[in-house]
Amino acid sequence: MSLGTEGPQVVASPTFFPAPAVPRSAPVGTAARPLPLIIDSDPGLDDALAIGLAIARPELELLAVTTVGGNADVRHCTENALRLLHAFGRADVPVAEGAEGPLTGAVVRATAIHGEGGIGRSVLPPSPASPRPEGAVALIARILRETTEPVVIAPIGPLTNIALLLRLHPGLAERIAHLSIMGGSIGEGNVTISAEFNIYADPEAADIVFRSGIPITMMGLDVTHQATLDAAAAARLRATGTASGAIATELVEFALDRVGQWYGGTTTAIHDAVAVAHLAIDDLVGVARYNVRVDATDGLGRGRTVCEGLARRMQRHGLEPNADVGIRVERERFEDVLVDAFGRLP
């Protein structure tokens, strides 16, 4: 059976009362003053493209990649991070392994999409580098302490490591300039009708993070499902002629195969790259201010990001906005950004 290609289409609107677009609050790097960035990730097909993008963009200075169990077991994610960085010419970027599973509750994986090892069928050469023995949370804490300016973190997997960091080192929250998170949804989820994968995989951690008071941008499914690539885009990535472009092509083609088999889909959302692209390009993603709370109860809404954007209701319930939430992205430009990035990599 193929869903989505036959019969009447339902176009879901994320909200009856869309919050108005506003100027972004996330910092943006420049080539002259690149943003110091840590990526916390569970690579992951789209994570891989996000990491490549971060390396390629001169507006970003990638300080570390920390890993978390999510799309695959954390040992696979760590190995993938090492190999991807090596393939993309940056084996010098430190990698440290973090949490295998959530703060509480069952471990959730997305191997049905990303493959058992997390990066489809791709087999990348081993990196000469090894993971840092201190582990993800200690590495992030050390970087936050030692970096002269506040650091931006892009959590593009479950939020377990970031919650642990905040619990273990609450004083370091002020050293985090911004969290550009891929996760959540104003509207529909992708694991359940309520919940997006990264939040569903550890709602308690997400709750801690969204309550932290740290400036947050949430790139949820409402915007990342606009950031899609298709077979023609995969061909453009291959046509860059770089080895990194060939890797990106393989990953995108694997994802396209999966969505094709599942529901006859012909495009795949490169969710995680949106959270990274926003930090390098000022006007690619449009955002609105929302109050975001996480449903960490055990009911049907577990893992839902409850996004309130209506000023009148916020006032009535004493809520303040706590996040920029991505609402739109120019798809063609997003594709160009990725093709350009993978053309710059080795």
Residue 190 touches ligand BDR, criterion: CB under 6 A: yes
Tokens representing 74 are 């954390």
**Residue 190, contacted partner among ligand BDR, Ca ion, none, CB below 5-8 A by kind:** ligand BDR
Residue 47 touches Ca ion, criterion: CB under 5 A: yes
Residue 222 touches ligand BDR, criterion: CB under 6 A: no
Residue 196 touches ligand BDR, criterion: CB under 6 A: yes
Stretch that binds ligand BDR, among 19-27, 84-92, 124-132, 194-202 (CB under 6 A): 194-202
- CB 291, CB 321: distance < 8 Å: yes
CA gap 291, 302 in Å, rounded: 17
Contacts with Ca ion by CB under 5 A: the residue count is 6
Least spacing, CB of residue 312 vs ligand BDR, in Å: 31
CA gap 130, 6 in Å, rounded: 49
- CB 4, CB 264: distance < 8 Å: yes
Q: Which residue is nearest to ligand BDR (CB)?
A: 197
Work out which of 35, 36, 46, 180 binds ligand BDR, going by CB under 6 A.
Answer: 46
Binding mask 136-175 for ligand BDR (x = CB under 6 A): --------------------xx------------------
Work out which of 29, 36, 44, 203 binds ligand BDR, going by CB under 6 A.
Answer: 44
Strands 151-155 and 267-269: unpaired
**Residue 141, contacted partner among ligand BDR, Ca ion, none, CB below 5-8 A by kind:** none
Work out which of 40, 97, 202, 272 binds ligand BDR, going by CB under 6 A.
Answer: 272
Stretch that binds Ca ion, among 32-40, 155-163, 303-311, 335-343 (CB under 5 A): 155-163
Ranges within 62-101 binding ligand BDR (CB under 6 A): 71
Contacts with ligand BDR by CB under 6 A: the residue count is 15
CA gap 54, 50 in Å, rounded: 6
Work out which of 198, 244, 267, 322 binds ligand BDR, going by CB under 6 A.
Answer: 198
**Residue 110, contacted partner among Ca ion, ligand BDR, none, CB below 5-8 A by kind:** ligand BDR
**Residue 40, contacted partner among Ca ion, ligand BDR, none, CB below 5-8 A by kind:** none
Least spacing, CB of residue 293 vs ligand BDR, in Å: 19
Query: Measured from the CB atom, is 47 or 253 closer to Ca ion?
Result: 47
Query: Measured from the CB atom, is 272 or 308 closer to ligand BDR?
Result: 272
- CB 290, CB 311: distance < 8 Å: no
Is cis: bond before 301, omega within 30 of 0?
Answer: no
Instruction: Give the dihedral sign, CA 257/262/268/269.
Output: negative
* Strands, E assignment, the chain: 21-22, 35-41, 60-67, 95-97, 151-155, 176-182, 216-219, 228-230, 267-269, 285-294, 305-308, 323-329
Tokens representing 246 are 């060939």
- CB 194, CB 304: distance < 8 Å: yes
Other CB atoms within 10 A of residue 84 CB: 30
Query: Measured from the CB atom, is 59 or 196 closer to ligand BDR?
Result: 196
Ranges within 1-40 binding ligand BDR (CB under 6 A): none
Least spacing, CB of residue 156 vs Ca ion, in Å: 4
Catalytic positions are: 271
Count of residues in the chain: 346
Write b or e for each residue in 172-192: b if 16 or more Cβ atoms lie within 10 A of its Cβ, otherwise e: beebbbbbbbbbbbbbbbbbe
- CB 37, CB 154: distance < 8 Å: yes
- CB 198, CB 205: distance < 8 Å: no
Least spacing, CB of residue 271 vs Ca ion, in Å: 7
Q: By the criterion CB under 5 A, which residues form the site for Ca ion?
A: 42, 44, 47, 156-157, 272
